Amino acid sequence: MRNLDPERAKWIRVRIGILSGIMALGLGGLVSGAYRVQVEDGAQWKETAENQRMRRLHVEPKRGTIHDRNGSPLAVTVEVPSLSVDVAEMIRGVEGQEAQASVLKDASIRLATALTLDLNETYAKLLTKKRFIWLKRRISGDEAQAIRDMSDPKKNPHPVRGLNLEGEGHRYYPSRELLGPVLGFVAPDGLGKDGLELYLDEELKGRIQDVRGLRDRTGRLIFSEGKTDSDALAGHDVTLTIDGGIQHVVEQELDAAQRTYETKGASLVVVDPNTGEILALASTPGYNPNDYGASEVDARRDRVVTDRFEPGSVMKVFTLATALSAGVLKPTEPIFCEHGTFQLGNVTIHDTHLNDWLTPTQVLAKSSNIGALKIALRLGEPQLYAGFRKFGFGETTGLPLPGEATGVLRPKGRPWFEVETANASFGQGISVTTVQLAMALSAIANGGRLYEPILVKKMQDARGNIIRDGVPKARRDVISAQVAHTITEMLTAVVEDGGTGVEAAVPGFRVAGKTATAQKADPATGKYSEDKYTASFIGFVPADKPRLVIAVVLDEPMIGRYGGDLAGPVFRRVAEASLRYLGVTPNSTAPRLSQVTRENDPADATLALLKPQAVAAMPAPPSVFGPPAANAVKVPDAAGLAARDAVRQVTAAGLVPEIDGTGRLVRQWPLPGTRVPKGSAVRLVFEPAS
């Protein structure tokens, strides 16, 4: 600068000063901006940055497991893969709308083929170009492997990017149809639907938590913070009082009864009368919760708690118990039953059997409507109604299942008229549920105490802590132990020789029970139907030290109608198998049962024929020489009839049909007109019409 012209040197100094000033101002502005961004506005920019690089996820805990009382799993949650797509990653680096559309179209074709999806719907989802899209949830193992191969550059020269397989909980029911209507199912959104899955949804599903995590440029989660112990979030495990072994027997027998008698539906409850624990709870038709979408809504209904029906003659048990408890009836007092016909106002009431004088025990054994109504009228409407309410009718039992019906005792706001009181005494004009009948009879079996039904034995969290324990809880004392013992002795006569429930007798055990055959009301006419019935049987065994109370209800059987003939054998088979399963050995037999045989039971024969391997070879013709047996009947000619009509005709003759094939009857053995002992088997061979 010394060799430069002074004026020029001066100008250079000025320019350097100006430039230095500008740089100083720029540096000052930069420092000031950095201070403002990092210090003054630091919190705001930090949140913005974290929102860009952090991802908020909903962590769904594992749903609790449902077990039976023996620890066998009935409903479990397993992890299955689901496919999500990051479309932004799929088209990263691809320039131009047409090029991107081509990539998405190719990916749509490959994904739709691998996952059996609709091509147009798949392409429409990808066109949204979102960072996260559920493409298909809960895919199979083969589909998951196909996706891995599709996105692996080592196996595929043109891999599809942006595909993410994520594990999701899927509800699985290992026993398939077992306990289906009771368990319910879980929808894809993870919420329980129907049954216990719905009623206990809050306890089973656990607590959902938000987790924040760092993600890379492709959107994949590579680090998470705030991790919580999974056991603290997991749903509670539930142990039921249901015994899987007894439940299996019950469902088999109920399903066989429905097919044999062609019922509209059926329900059955098995209760431990000493605790109120439900050992089995079944209704048919049922369904498989693993494939609930393929079932009808009617099949998913738990008929045990939702269906109301007129109980019929089983209510005579509670009518007599109330009368004995009130002291208006003596156990041996004779009652005049009007030789089977009684006029009450303008209503004529009939008995199936024509009787004159009957004791209360015989009123139950012969199921006399007239005897029951006379007892009820002596008792009076207020006391009869109060007695029914004490047994739990007209109110829910408290079973932890959705949709439990209360039943109907009388019109709201007014008492029964005299005819209504009479009808109620033998189970007409009122409605109950199967579980109400089972719990009410349990009060008689255990000596007079009405318990709340227990379905959940215990509930515990993932760490094993007991959250809820199902302990026996008595609602109230209904009758005295002495009255309960008297009613028990009366009920044993029902299943002894001469009673209406002889088919329910269990060899080696005293059984106390009651049959019912109730006409159903026809909504169209407002009158009782001539061909629609509810057949039922309720009972407990052993009568002296009850272990099981069993209530069987068959709705609208097409073949047969009487509760003793249809529901009685179901009771017997369930009781026999359950007692054997529980290790209860026979120790006594009612004296009058010694001559009662269980051979040629119509229900047993038909049940055996439901199994293909049970079809036997054509039997040899019975001997027709010599005088026919005293109880011999003639084999009817059912040629050309459909299965239902042929079975009905053979059954009406007092014979046991053995069914082979479907369609029209082409052969029968023994031949028509042959005289054979009553109760003999007749094989019916059907073939489809050509």
Q: Where are the domains of the chain?
A: 6-40, 57-240, 244-456+472-593, 615-687
Nearest to 556 by CA among 258, 242, 164: 258
pLDDT at 598 over 50: no
pLDDT at 624 over 50: no
pLDDT at res. 626: 34
pLDDT at res. 628: 43
425 is catalytic: no
How buried is residue 436: exposed, middle or buried, by Cβ count under 10 Å (0-12/13-18/19+)? buried
Position with higher pLDDT, 642 vs 116: 116
Q: Residue count of the chain, please give it.
A: 690
Alpha-carbon separation of residue 211 from 48, 57, 77 (angstroms): 18, 5, 22
Q: Across residues 492-498, what is the average pLDDT?
A: 89
Give residue-wise pLDDT tens across range 55-92: 555 556 789 999 999 999 999 998 888 888 988 888 88
Nearest to 266 by CA among 242, 285, 247: 285
CB 303 within 8 A of CB 297: no
Alpha-carbon separation of residue 637 from 50, 630, 634, 689, 690 (angstroms): 87, 22, 9, 19, 21
pLDDT at 18 over 90: no
Nearest to 162 by CA among 71, 88, 261: 88
Q: Rounded to an integer, what distance in angstroms lies between the CA atom of residue 35 and that of residue 210?
A: 33
Q: Rounded to an integer, what distance in angstroms lies between the CA atom of residue 582 and that of residue 595?
A: 27
pLDDT at 622 over 50: no
Q: Rounded to an integer, what distance in angstroms lies between the CA atom of residue 426 and that of residue 424?
A: 5
The SS3 assignment for 225 reads strand
- Kindly calculate the radius of gyration of the chain based on its CA atoms and give it in whole angstroms: 37
pLDDT at res. 354: 86
Q: Rounded to an integer, what distance in angstroms lies between the CA atom of residue 217 and that of residue 221?
A: 10
Secondary structure string (H, E, C) spanning 533-584: EEEEEEEEECCCCCCEEEEEEEECCCCCCCHHHHHHHHHHHHHHHHHHHHCC
pLDDT at res. 614: 33
* pLDDT band at 609; cut points 50, 70, 90: very low
- Percent of the chain whose pLDDT exceeds 70: 86
CB 271 within 8 A of CB 279: yes
* pLDDT band at 625; cut points 50, 70, 90: very low
Q: Indicate the pTM of the whole model.
A: 0.73
88-97, 380-389, 595-604: which is most confident: 380-389
CB 228 within 8 A of CB 530: no
pLDDT at res. 19: 87
Q: Rounded to an integer, what distance in angstroms lies between the CA atom of residue 458 and that of residue 68?
A: 10
Give residue-wise pLDDT tens across range 417-472: 999 999 999 999 999 999 999 999 999 999 999 999 999 999 998 888 899 898 99
Nearest to 442 by CA among 404, 398, 487: 487
CB 543 within 8 A of CB 487: no
- Percent of the chain whose pLDDT exceeds 90: 49
Q: Rounded to an integer, what distance in angstroms lies between the CA atom of residue 274 and that of residue 439?
A: 11
pLDDT at res. 452: 96
pLDDT at 4 over 80: no
* pLDDT band at 617; cut points 50, 70, 90: very low
Tokens 């490959």 belong to 110
* pLDDT band at 322; cut points 50, 70, 90: very high
Amino acid identity, position 32? S
Give residue-wise pLDDT tens across range 106-116: 999 999 999 99
Tokens standing for 100? 């991107």
The SS3 assignment for 205 reads helix
Alpha-carbon separation of residue 639 from 542, 658, 667, 686 (angstroms): 45, 15, 7, 10
Amino acid identity, position 430? I
CATH no., domain 615-687: 3.30.10.20
Q: Rounded to an integer, what distance in angstroms lies between the CA atom of residue 551 and that of residue 535?
A: 11
Nearest to 169 by CA among 203, 196, 205: 205
Q: Rounded to an integer, what distance in angstroms lies between the CA atom of residue 473 and that of residue 548?
A: 18
Query: Do you find a cis peptide bond into 159, omega within 30 degrees of 0?
Result: no
pLDDT at res. 589: 46
Amino acid identity, position 252? Q
Alpha-carbon separation of residue 289 from 194, 453, 510 (angstroms): 10, 24, 38
Q: Rounded to an integer, what distance in angstroms lies between the CA atom of residue 340 and that of residue 406?
A: 33
CB 430 within 8 A of CB 410: yes
Compute φ and ψ for 453, nearest 5 degrees. -70, 140
Q: Across residues 474-489, what is the average pLDDT?
A: 95
What is the side-by-side strand order in the sheet with 548-555?
277-284, 265-272, 548-555, 527-541, 512-522
Tokens standing for 148? 């891995």
Range in 15-19, 372-376, 428-432, 505-509 the model is least confident about: 15-19
Q: Rounded to an integer, what distance in angstroms lies between the CA atom of residue 507 and that of residue 527?
A: 40
Side-chain-side CA neighbours of residue 518 (13 Å): 31
Q: Rounded to an integer, what distance in angstroms lies between the CA atom of residue 550 and that of residue 558?
A: 23
Give residue-wise pLDDT tens across range 378-424: 999 999 999 999 999 999 999 999 999 999 998 877 899 999 999 99
Q: Across residues 507-532, what is the average pLDDT?
A: 89
Q: Rounded to an integer, what distance in angstroms lies between the CA atom of residue 632 and that of residue 674?
A: 10
The catalytic position among 108, 295, 313, 425 is: 313
CATH no., domain 57-240: 3.90.1310.10
CA 539: distance to chain centroid?
23
Count of C-beta atoms within a 10 Å radius of residue 529: 14
The H or E element spanning position 515 is strand 512-522
Amino acid identity, position 7? E
pLDDT at res. 402: 93
pLDDT at res. 92: 86
Mean residue pLDDT across the chain: 84
* pLDDT band at 21; cut points 50, 70, 90: confident
Q: What single DSSP character describes residue 274?
A: T
Q: Rounded to an integer, what distance in angstroms lies between the CA atom of residue 352 and that of residue 648?
A: 21
Amino acid identity, position 622? P
Compute φ and ψ for 120, nearest 5 degrees. -65, -40
Tokens 């590579």 belong to 222
Alpha-carbon separation of residue 526 from 382, 412, 520, 521, 557 (angstroms): 27, 19, 10, 7, 21
CB neighbour list of residue 351: distance below 8 Å, 6 or more residues apart:
337, 340, 341, 366, 368, 369, 370
Q: Rounded to an integer, what distance in angstroms lies between the CA atom of residue 313 and that of residue 117?
A: 57
Tokens standing for 186? 């879980």
Tokens standing for 305? 């708690």
Longest dimension (CA), the chain: 159
Secondary structure string (H, E, C) spanning 19-40: HHHHHHHHHHHHHHHHHHHHHH
Q: Rounded to an integer, what distance in angstroms lies between the CA atom of residue 511 and that of residue 525?
A: 39
CB 195 within 8 A of CB 183: yes
Q: Which fold has domain 244-456+472-593?
A: Beta-lactamase (3.40.710)
